[in-house]
Structure 1
Amino acid sequence: MTRTHADRCPGVLRPWIAEDGAIVRLRLIGGALSTAALDAIVDIADDFGDGEVLLTKRTNLQLRGIAHEDGAVSPDLVEAITAAGLLPSPTHELIRNIMVSPLTGLSGGQIDLRPVAHELDRLLCAEPAFTDLAGRFLFVLDDGRGDVADRSFDLGLMAVDDAHVQLRVGTAWGLVVELGAAAETLVVHAKRFLDAAAEATPDGGVAPWHVDELPGGGQSLLGIHFARDGRTHVSSLPVPHGIISAGDGRRIEHFAVMDGILHRDLVDDVLTRAGTEVVVTPWRSLLIPDPETSA
């Protein structure tokens, strides 16, 4: 595919202007959202937008119907979102797209991938060059249960046992690496993508947004072909809504959100059930761990 324009995926500092007002998107790492931020973002939607918060299929949040001027939202909105902890890196806000198996670290799976996701985010935000990634560039981390492994993504990994993961580059499979090297390995390949995208971009042209838009579908990022580890041949459906047993007497509620839209009454209901954190899922729902296990 030859791109004819730069990526326009919305952020807080680069909103998309629709007929009903500006649209902003807030990136959550692995869908994790503190209940304090959840409470605050609904107030922000009421004060600045149409009163609704949309859960996206990439486990992010979206607000719309926001007043704007010259293509920008008000400084008061930016300040409110920042105070809620939902704009931790203004320079890198558009590229913090990291999806993780929603139940990782809570129930099941080979490995708790939450630390890997946060280390990946830290490394991405520490490198100025990564602001050149498109706002749609996506990392997907599957903890070995196969619940997000079939998502379309650019770079990712899948756990193969309790200490190793296999790299994924577009539709190809890469090295099996130790868990401690997982985040750095993804960052190395993200840098290779930027270099390859620059090479593949004609003078005055638009760089590819995705790995599969590179010549050869991005296989050059791996250098050589790697076989898919047999332990990755697993898949699982989204968990049903309702109570999930997490073991040791712990429970997690998979909370249905109609049309993926949060509003004040619904959030107040969630807050009566939740502890310090909820998880936004790719199925546009919420996971609510027991209060004593959600810290």
Structure 2
Amino acid sequence: MLAAMPDSAPSPLSTGDTSPRDGGDACPGTLRLHRADDGALARVRIPGGVLSADRADALLAVAGRFGDGELHLTSRGNVQLRGLDAECGGGPAELLGAAGLLPSAAHERARNIVASPLAGLDGSPSVSGWLSELDGLVCGSAAAASLSGRFLFALDDGRGDVDALGADVTLIAEGGDCLLRVGAEDEVFRVPAEEGPRAALLAAEAFLRAARDSGAWRVKDLPDDVRAEVVRAIGPAAGPAVHRPRPRTAKAPEPGPVTGPYDNGGTTTANATTTATATAISIGVPLGQLSATQWRLLTDTARRYGNELRLTPWRGIVIPGPFAHDEAAEALRTLDAAGLITAPDSPWTGVGACIGHPGCAKSLSDVRAEAGAAVGPVGRLPVYWSGCERRCGHPHGEWIDVVVTPDGHRISHVRGERRDPPATVRNAPAALAATVAAARA
């Protein structure tokens, strides 16, 4: 099982972090809030998306006491608390720190780690050890405090799901070793599995040294020659380079029961067995927004079956079991009745949107309402609705891009770095829904 953050007492909080580039990095955190039209916004980093039920309760308590009472999932498996009162001061950080969700004030925006949410649940290896060790190494590195809130680590169990997300540093399980990818490079380095987290940190620190003169926030922003220097700096500490292109499509866990040999924290073996018919359940969250009632229901379910929730980079949640067949089915029925996505044939599967108007001043439309009005048959491709050209939180790989412009809704098919010629629909909801459905098909 993936390991949640340690339950030890958090270190004392300071008034901010030590990043020398604070003036340029506007990413919000728990200590630095972002001012939005619906109030202040806090982004709570959840490394690997792993939450214990008690920590999930703490997040809800903060949302209810200081914010709009809802939990908003992000494309990095983190949680945003919106509608915070301008007078809340350090109250949210104090409560989150007491719950162990803020172990280092200096590194709280640098703890961006995504992990394969089904790792160890369906026959794939666990990445639990990597997650705990990497988070500890990042929080223990003075240099890593300078990583921007945009820098991303990924821990992939070998299936390629989070490797496809375009992280700055990726560890990929392969046999008894792991592969280390820096940025989008097709060449990866083979390192012993136990050395993976330290190699990932060394790669991040090498990036910081290279970025001093370029002002880059992420590996992809480095000039080609400087990026090559970072890759070369990793070579002496790693094994031989291996050609392995990054996957183009990031595939989310399918909603419903998850089956396979259950790995309870160790390595899954070929002859592993289980008496349960479901090692976990996977749930989608419409537009990534959870009411207090839905969050409590998910937390209570997790508390009964293993005390863990895994927030996914696709704004979903996996609850590890194991479950007996009737238990998984009953849990899914209850969650479905609460408005969550529990099967791949839900019309909400693959539908995403930014916060839109009125929460964001830059948005030209209430794209969440428009996405809901346009929901129809399940599409082959995901669709993401953006209220402006920034496309905050958009997916990776292949998807249908719907952007509101002054001239109407622009719909285009995105394949990695390629974009097909767009179609524009002006002020015609029925035509908009039909055009989006046709593009997704």
State the TM-score bracket (shorter-chain normalisation).
0.7 to 0.9
Higher helix proportion (structure 1 or 2): 1
Decide which of 26, 37, 41 is 1:23's aligned counterpart.
41
Letter in 2 for 1:284: R
**1:209 alignment partner in structure 2:** 217
Separation of aligned partners in 1, 2:217 and 2:184: 15
Q: How does 1:129-168 map to 2 (within 5 A)?
A: 129-161=143-175, 163-168=176-181
Letter in 2 for 1:81: L
Letter in 2 for 1:280: L
Separation of aligned partners in 2, 1:166 and 1:8: 32
The alignment yields a C-alpha RMSD, in angstroms, of 2.3
Letter in 1 for 2:140: A
Q: Does residue 120 in structure 1 map to residue 134 in structure 2?
A: yes
Q: Does residue 45 in structure 1 map to residue 68 in structure 2?
A: no
- Shift of the alpha carbon at 1:291? 6.5
Q: 1:233 to 1:283 in 2, by over 3 A?
A: closer
Separation of aligned partners in 1, 2:250 and 2:172: 13
**2:72 alignment partner in structure 1:** 54
Measured against aligned partners, the alpha-carbon deviations of 1:256-290 in whole angstroms (never above 9, x if no partner) come to: 22211122110222133223111001111111112
Q: Does residue 190 in structure 1 map to residue 201 in structure 2?
A: no
Structure 2 residue matching 1:80: 3-state secondary structure: helix
**1:268 alignment partner in structure 2:** 296
Separation of aligned partners in 1, 2:157 and 2:86: 40
Letter in 1 for 2:28: P
CA contact (8 A) 1:119 1:183 kept: yes
Q: 1:170 to 1:234 in 2, by over 3 A?
A: closer
Q: Does residue 249 in structure 1 map to residue 275 in structure 2?
A: yes
Letter in 1 for 2:286: M
**2:331 alignment partner in structure 1:** none
CA contact (8 A) 1:31 1:99 kept: yes
**Larger CA deviation: 217-226 vs 42-51:** 217-226
- Shift of the alpha carbon at 1:152? 1.7
Measured against aligned partners, the alpha-carbon deviations of 1:186-217 in whole angstroms (never above 9, x if no partner) come to: 1111111111111x24xxxxx21011211216
Letter in 1 for 2:101: L
Structure 1 residue matching 2:242: 3-state secondary structure: coil
- Shift of the alpha carbon at 1:45? 0.5
- Shift of the alpha carbon at 1:75? 2.2
Separation of aligned partners in 2, 1:91 and 1:13: 10
- Shift of the alpha carbon at 1:227? 3.3
Separation of aligned partners in 1, 2:34 and 2:248: 38
Measured against aligned partners, the alpha-carbon deviations of 1:140-191 in whole angstroms (never above 9, x if no partner) come to: 1111011112112111121221x11111011113310110000111111111
Decide which of 78, 83, 86 is 1:68's aligned counterpart.
86
Separation of aligned partners in 2, 1:170 and 1:274: 34
Q: 1:84 to 1:145 in 2, by over 3 A?
A: same
**2:423 alignment partner in structure 1:** none
CA contact (8 A) 2:71 2:292 kept: no
**1:286 alignment partner in structure 2:** 317
Structure 2 residue matching 1:117: 3-state secondary structure: helix
- Shift of the alpha carbon at 1:292? 8.0
Q: 1:290 to 1:227 in 2, by over 3 A?
A: closer
CA contact (8 A) 2:64 2:70 kept: yes
- Shift of the alpha carbon at 1:234? 10
Decide which of 215, 227, 230 is 1:221's aligned counterpart.
230
Q: Structure 2: which 5+ runs fail to align?
A: 1-20, 262-273, 325-441
**1:204 alignment partner in structure 2:** none
**1:13 alignment partner in structure 2:** 31
Separation of aligned partners in 2, 1:195 and 1:82: 30
Q: 1:37 to 1:291 in 2, by over 3 A?
A: farther
CA contact (8 A) 1:145 1:235 kept: no
Letter in 2 for 1:268: R
CA contact (8 A) 1:146 1:234 kept: no
TM-score of the pair, normalised by structure 2: 0.59
CA contact (8 A) 1:242 1:254 kept: yes
Q: Structure 1: which 5+ runs fail to align?
A: 202-206
**1:259 alignment partner in structure 2:** 287
Structure 2 residue matching 1:253: 3-state secondary structure: strand
Letter in 1 for 2:221: E
Identity of matched residues, %: 37
TM-score of the pair, normalised by structure 1: 0.87
Structure 2 residue matching 1:189: 3-state secondary structure: helix
Letter in 1 for 2:316: S
- Shift of the alpha carbon at 1:91? 1.1
Letter in 2 for 1:58: R
- Shift of the alpha carbon at 1:229? 4.6
